[in-house]
Amino acid sequence: MFKYEKKLPYPINVKRKDVKMAKYIITQFGGPNGELGAFLRYFSQKFTMPTAEGKALLNDIAVEEMGHCEMICTMVTQLLKGASVEELMEHGLSANYAEHGMGIFPNDSNGIPFTAASLQSIGNPVADLAEDMAAEEKARVTYEHLIDMTNDDDLIDPLLFLRQREVVHYRWFKDLYKKYKKMGY
């Protein structure tokens, strides 16, 4: 189905520990507008797309979102490198440490665990694609907020890359949405 290349879609090389930013960036893994939800949403929706083109597009974007999960987790891991328990506690990560140590766990920046309850897949291609366009826009805005919160170019560059991919995905979904609307779905 797909080939895994052992390299990130964009290089991540964070040199400076920043526990506070790690707490915020994790939301793009397991938060409401994060990459894990996008992956699961698009992967699930592809099965009811009415054309091979639609199925392929949702599958391709889903797999790309999985790569984005890996990027986010890599950033968080690098931001936490060398962090002490005291630093984790100071920045509100004590509960995460108590339950997961330094392990990555899908949750939002408030520590609320990932849930699939908010994912939408209704089986109507137009409705699902409208949902997908909204999801991409929310993720784009979240990346912009994260970029606003740092001055570290080692974070800004990959966050800008991820933000731009949201813009591209939105356009692809919009094109398919328009096509399906014309086809009467």
pLDDT of 2: 62
| Averaged pLDDT for residues 131-137 | 98
Please, how many CA atoms are within 13 Å of residue 122, restricted to the half-sphere of its CB? 11
Selection from 59, 21, 68 nearest residue 41 by Cα: 59
The values of phi and psi at residue 113, to 5°, are -60, 150
* Partner residues linked to 99 by β-bridges: none
Q: Give the position of tokens 């400076």.
A: 16
Q: What b/e readout covers 47-76, taking b as 16+ CB neighbours within 10 angstroms?
A: eebeeeebeebbbebbbbbbbbbbbbbbbb
Residue 3, pLDDT score: 72
Residue of 1 and 83 predicted with greater confidence? 83
Average pLDDT over residues 102-114: 96
**What separation in angstroms does the CA of 99 have from each of 29, 93, 94, 129, 151?**
17, 10, 9, 36, 30
Region 111-131: what's the mean pLDDT?
95
pLDDT at 1 over 80: no
Superfamily name and number for 19-101+122-182: Ferritin, core subunit, four-helix bundle (1.20.1260.10)
Identify the residue whose tokens are 């526990």.
19
The yes-or-no verdict on residue 131 having pLDDT over 80 is yes
Q: Alpha-carbon Rg of the chain, whole angstroms?
A: 17
Each domain of the chain, given as residue ranges in start order, spans: 19-101+122-182
Beta bridge partners of 107: 113
Contact 73, 80 (CB under 8 A): no
pLDDT at residue 73, as a whole number: 98
Q: Residues 93-106: pLDDT tens digits?
A: 999 999 999 999 99
Q: Picking from 1-5, 38-42, 166-170, 173-177, which range would have the lowest pLDDT averaged per residue? A: 1-5
Could you report the per-residue pLDDT of 148-182, keeping only the tens digit for each?
Answer: 999 999 999 999 999 999 999 999 999 999 999 99
Answer for the pair 139, 33: CB distance below 8 angstroms, yes or no: yes
Average predicted confidence (pLDDT) for the chain: 96
